[in-house]
Amino acid sequence: MVDAARAARMAGRIQQIVAQQLRNGVKDPRLGMVTVTDVRVTGDLHDATVYYTVLGDDEALVSTQTALDSAKGVLRSQVGRQTGVKFTPTLTFVHDHVPDNAHQINELLAEAHQRDAEVEAVRAGKTYAGDADPYRHDETEGPDADGPDALGPDALGPDADEVSSTVDGLDGDEPE
């Protein structure tokens, strides 16, 4: 296995060589406006996957894929000559879907922005059904607050004095 830094350098060099050869060396009329977006090399440097995009429709994509497959041998020999490695990696061309996905994501974000604007327009001028703050806040403390002290001495009933004297008697003192 080769270290990742060497594989990354090899991938960058292969990307430069293939892009240059597609621009200047390959004279196939089927080849469209190709951009080499990325190259990934396996850890043993035996296989390289070349990602590309094509300007145009699906027909241009198919014809460019055919042209790249037919020029694969020429491109591999140029990579071998210009890199000087013992084993020239095999080239595999894969259409890069990242720009298409990015365009679709941009459309979805625009649609979400439009829906947010519609909701904001409906919400404008409306008020809450209840209070603006639905949570209860106890701002008072002491005898006015909720609890047994707030109820008063008669709230516990007429036998409250007997209960308190019985509780006092549990301290070990005899009730009077």
* Position 63 in a domain: yes
* Position 23 in a domain: yes
pLDDT over 70, % of the chain: 78
Q: What is the pLDDT of residue 3?
A: 82
CATH number at residue 33: 3.30.300.20
Q: What is the pLDDT of residue 167?
A: 53
The helix-helix angle for 72-83 and 58-70 (nearest 10°) equals: 60
Q: What is the pLDDT of residue 89?
A: 92
Closest C-alpha among 150, 9, 14 to residue 78: 14
Q: How far apart are CA 69 and CA 142, in angstroms?
A: 86
* Position 8 in a domain: yes
Its sign, for the CA torsion 149, 151, 152, 158, is: negative
- The one-letter amino acid code at 122 reads V
DSSP label at residue 145: S
pLDDT along the chain (176 residues), means of 10: 84 92 86 89 92 88 90 91 90 88 92 93 82 76 52 55 55 53
Q: How many domains does the chain have?
A: 1
* Position 116 in a domain: no
Q: What is the pLDDT of residue 81?
A: 92
Q: What is the pLDDT of residue 169?
A: 54
Q: What is the pLDDT of residue 48?
A: 94
Token pair, residue 66, equals 């055919």
Q: What is the pLDDT of residue 1?
A: 66
Q: How far apart are CA 141 and CA 117, in angstroms?
A: 45
- What is the domain range of residue 55? 4-98
Three-state secondary structure call for residue 53:
strand
pTM: 0.60
* Position 106 in a domain: no
* Position 172 in a domain: no
Closest C-alpha among 96, 95, 88 to residue 14: 88
* Position 156 in a domain: no
* Position 147 in a domain: no
